[in-house]
Amino acid sequence: MLVLLLLATAGVWAAWTLRLDPADLWPGGGGWRLTVEFFSHAWRPALTHQAEGLPTDTPPLLWLAARAAVKTVVYAAAAMPASILLGLLLGFGASSAWWTTARDRGGRGPRSLLGPVISAACRLVASLLRSVHELLWAVLLLAALGLTPLAAVVALSVPYAGTLAKVFAEMIDEAPRDAAGALAEAGASPVQAFLAGQLPGAMPDMMAYALYRFECALRSAAVLGFFGFPTLGYHIAASFENLYYGEVWTYLYMLLLLVLVVDWWSGAVRRRLVS
């Protein structure tokens, strides 16, 4: 309750500091007309190029949109394996289940300090990775590597690995511990007990979350197009600058379609895992 009150107070203070004025939501003539025009195209996305006098060999708009959608999926898909792998490694390390089980079962001596230290180190690394947003990573990597697909893929995988690690660690620690405890009691090593007794309980949630992050990666990959990568964002930016709002909506609907498909897919996978 007190926390909510504090948050509300902080919110009001911040709004005052920023001189937020609700009246600005209704901008003067030009801005408002632009907004109306943009949203009015939501009902009639472009099916063909809005530009006139294009070279005759220009591919049709929908073909371009489909190709950009495929590129977006490819960029996101290329980023996920590395981030999942790194996220799993850091997530295992950052979770406390693998070392507290051993400690609770009578583990002693200097080796019992190893667990907390590794765990804290993994958590720190995961925080560092995700404290820099993928767009900032993209700016850094563009400067370092240039406009290569690798820059976009690395920019996506690094912060995603950090987020996955944090959430994986929490899911592992929240899974029931009784089975791992029983296996340790039956002579299994801490790592064996963790892999056979603790991890399987967290697996369905972890897979569903990885799929959700894939959905996030699709959106991020699309936005990375603003930097020049050939994903949906590239076309959105180009059409927007030319005031071809119908085309912008075509690309936005393409992105929506991708997200819906992945959402449906992850739902199906999840249902299969838990039932």
Partner 1 sequence: MALDVHLDAVTVSFSGLTALHEVNLEVAAGEHVALIGPSGAGKTTLLRLLNGSALPSRGNVRVGGRTLADLDARSLRRLRSQVAVVHQDLRLVPNLRVSQNVLSGGLGRQGFWSSLRSLVRPATRELEVVHGILQRVGIGEVLFQRVDRLSGGQRQRVAIARALHQRPQMLLADEPVASVDPVRARDVVALLVRLAREDGVTLVMSLHDLELAREFFPRVVGLRAGEVLLDGPPDELDPAAVAQLFRLPEGGSDLVGT
Q: Which residues bind partner 1 (CB under 8 A)?
A: 105-109, 178-179, 181-189, 191-193, 195-197, 200-201, 203-204, 273-274
Q: How far apart are alpha carbons 12 and 4 in whole angstroms?
A: 12
SS3 21: coil
Tokens standing for residue 142: 């563009």
Q: How far apart are alpha carbons 44 and 24 in whole angstroms?
A: 28
Closer of 80 and 199 to partner 1 (Cβ) = 199
- At closest approach, how far in Å is the CB of 182 from partner 1? 4
Closer of 158 and 199 to partner 1 (Cβ) = 199
- At closest approach, how far in Å is the CB of 181 from partner 1? 7
- At closest approach, how far in Å is the CB of 91 from partner 1? 18
How far CA 170 is from CA of 146, 149, 206, in Å, comes to 36, 32, 10
Per 3-state DSSP, the chain is made up of helix, strand and coil in percentages (nearest 5) of: 80, 0, 20
List phi, psi (to 5°) of 97.
-60, -40
Closer of 31 and 176 to partner 1 (Cβ) = 176
Owner of token pair 């799929």 = 211
Tokens standing for residue 63: 């073909």
Closer of 41 and 177 to partner 1 (Cβ) = 177
Closer of 105 and 219 to partner 1 (Cβ) = 105
Is the CB of residue 49 less than 8 Å from the CB of residue 238?
no
Closer of 107 and 149 to partner 1 (Cβ) = 107
Which residues fall within 8 angstroms of residue 42, CB to CB, at 6 or more apart? 249
> How many of the other CB atoms lie within 10 Å of CB of 125?
17
- At closest approach, how far in Å is the CB of 81 from partner 1? 19
Closer of 133 and 272 to partner 1 (Cβ) = 272
- At closest approach, how far in Å is the CB of 95 from partner 1? 16
- At closest approach, how far in Å is the CB of 266 from partner 1? 17
Is the CB of residue 61 less than 8 Å from the CB of residue 49?
yes
- At closest approach, how far in Å is the CB of 215 from partner 1? 23
> How many of the other CB atoms lie within 10 Å of CB of 1?
5
